[in-house]
Amino acid sequence: MPLALLAYAAWTARWVRPGGDDWCFLPVVRDGGLSAMVDKFYFRDNGRVINAVLVWTYARFGVAGQQWFAPASGVLILLLLWAFCAAALPATKRRLPRGTALFVAATVTAVFLFGSLNTYKTFYWPAASVSHTLPPVFACAAIVPVMRAASLRGRAFALCTAGTTGAALGMLSEETTVVALAALGCTVVISGRAIPAARRCFVRLWCAVAIAGLVIGTLILYTSPGALHRRQTKNASTMLDPTSLWESGYAFAYIALRCLTAWPYLAAFAGGLILGCLLVRVSPERVTRANHEALLIRSCIVVLLVAGYACTVIAYPAFRTGVMTSTRLWNDYLLLYVLFLVYAGALTARAWHRRGRHVATALAAGTAVYYVVCLGLAASLAVLDSDMAARARAWDQQDARMRSQAAAGARVLPYRPLPIRKMTEPFGQDGRKTWPALCIARYYRVQDITSATGKL
């Protein structure tokens, strides 16, 4: 079912049309290419050089690039998480049924992308996906080489991957960088008890190289003219003020409550429950409490809390109370939350078996919940598909009209906002939000646009 959800969502992406920041990116890439995009990000916007490169990869194809981004990124996320799960599951030291890694990866992918409180911005909107959806997946993928390393060459490759990926993430997403630093720091702290002695030194070295890469990338971003400009305009100097820290804590508590009570995440727990039942069935006689299991659970919770709060602190000066509604900002640590829920589900199945109960009951319950949630996600996608189709048809009509008027020599064009799922449109906030209008005017090569009223 998760693969069917991904296929349906990919087909729905044909209705994606530009909105929000896309209006600004498309004309820059069209008129200046990669160099103009890098210049915009590094010198003026935020310093995220890798972000600029990724935006260029799809924006260079115009509207078609917007439409193909979601299917391409969805497949990429699935493949990377599949590789991650295939490398992590052998740690259970059990011969699992074929397809188990794909099942877990598909579950995590579907819940992460479609269980979001705003799937449009998480999956369909390229600008948000590049900044907050893909980075945590890249961070997970960077772990695969260290789990697979069994030779000197493999270890060298793992170290190289850690350094380069860390530097790239540092220049791509401040929030994912914080999450990665928290996870790596926690790994180093618990490595003396949780990692076998034979691999302990290498894992610590790998963590040190990854941290160094993240720090280098972050320094490149932080010292950029664009980052300096963003800090000045967004009043980032207030980030560590007691008031800001307190309000960030309140905002994160609200976010945590929303995530803990969101029904789509039940699929992750149910998927983990199914996985745990499979592990028990493969070798029921070996189901004992894993070494340092409690330590790992506590460490995951601490990393989630520390990273989530730190991400909220970073975003609060720019978004203020908007961090509680800008769900795309949560994705940098929500992937870790989804993975933890799968882990918790697997541990629950093992605990159920250790109490002498039949796993068939747990398996049936997990499967039922899993399918019900997947059906709910399918229904949500169907509603979103309808809304996207309506907007796409209206967008295409307006686009054709504006292009014909611009070709006829018009210098000022009327534009009717076409919002969807809280996407930014011009003339918002009672006309105070003007930057989208400037970008739309550049997109159509006219002097200005005005707010259209009535039937056009």
Closest CA to 67 of 11, 9, 13: 13
Closest CA to 129 of 82, 69, 79: 69
Residue 403 is predicted with a pLDDT of 96
Residue 94 is predicted with a pLDDT of 67
Residue 121 is predicted with a pLDDT of 95
Instruction: Find the mean pLDDT for residues 360-371.
Output: 92
Distance CA 424, CA 443 (A): 16
Whether residue 93 is predicted with pLDDT greater than 70 in this model: the reply is: no
Burial of 93 by CB count in 10 Å (0-12 exposed, 13-18 middle, 19+ buried)? Answer: exposed
With both helix axes pointing from N to C terminus, report the angle between 331-354 and 359-407 in degrees, rounded to the nearest 10: 170
With both helix axes pointing from N to C terminus, report the angle between 134-141 and 331-354 in degrees, rounded to the nearest 10: 50
Distance CA 106, CA 108 (A): 6
HEC assignment per residue over the chain: CHHHHHHHHHHHHHHCCCCCCHHHHHHHHHHHHHHHHHHHHHHHHCCCHHHHHHHHHHHCCCHHHHHHHHHHHHHHHHHHHHHHHHHHHHHHCCCCCCCHHHHHHHHHHHHHHHCCCCHHHHHHCHHHHHHHHHHHHHHHHCCHHHHHCCCHHHHHHHHHHHHHHHHHHHCCCHHHHHHHHHHHHHHHHHHHHHCCHHHHHHHHHHHHHHHHHHHHHHHHHHCCHHHHHHHHHCCHHHCCCHHHHHHHHHHHHHHHHHHHCCHHHHHHHHHHHHHHHHHHHHCHHHCCCCCCHHHHHHHHHHHHHHHHHHHHHHHHHHHHHHHHCCHHHHHHHHHHHHHHHHHHHHHHHHHHHHCCCCHHHHHHHHHHHHHHHHHHHHHHHHHHHHHHHHHHHHHHHHHHHHHHHHHCCCCEEEECCCCCCCCCCCCHHHHCECHHHHHHHHHCCCCEEEECCCCC
Residues 412-449 pLDDT 10s: 999 999 999 989 888 876 666 778 899 999 999 999 99
Residue 287 is predicted with a pLDDT of 47
Instruction: Find the mean pLDDT for residues 303-325.
Output: 94
Instruction: Find the mean pLDDT for residues 213-218.
Output: 97
Residues 127-174 pLDDT 10s: 999 999 999 999 999 999 999 988 999 999 999 999 999 999 999 999
Residues 46-80 pLDDT 10s: 999 999 999 999 999 999 999 999 999 999 999 99
Distance CA 125, CA 196 (A): 42
Distance CA 405, CA 42 (A): 35
Q: What is the model's pTM?
A: 0.94
- Count of other CB atoms within 10 angstroms of residue 419: 12
Tokens describing residue 371? 């399918």
Whether residue 361 is predicted with pLDDT greater than 80 in this model: the reply is: yes
Partner residues linked to 448 by β-bridges: 412
Residue 284 is predicted with a pLDDT of 59
The residue among 98 and 4 whose pLDDT is bigger is 4
Instruction: Find the mean pLDDT for residues 295-305.
Output: 93
How much of the chain exceeds pLDDT 70, in percent? 95
pLDDT band at 311 (very low <50, low <70, confident <90, very high): very high
Average pLDDT, the chain: 92
What is the amino acid identity at position 172? Answer: L
Report how far apart the first and last C-alpha atoms of the chain are (Å, whole number).
43
Distance CA 252, CA 234 (A): 20
pLDDT band at 369 (very low <50, low <70, confident <90, very high): very high
pLDDT band at 233 (very low <50, low <70, confident <90, very high): confident
Whether residue 289 is predicted with pLDDT greater than 60 in this model: the reply is: no
Residues 336-348 pLDDT 10s: 999 999 999 999 9
Partner residues linked to 413 by β-bridges: 449
Distance CA 31, CA 263 (A): 45
Whether residue 455 is predicted with pLDDT greater than 60 in this model: the reply is: no
- Count of other CB atoms within 10 angstroms of residue 311: 28
Residue 285 is predicted with a pLDDT of 52
- Count of other CB atoms within 10 angstroms of residue 110: 28
Whether residue 9 is predicted with pLDDT greater than 50 in this model: the reply is: yes
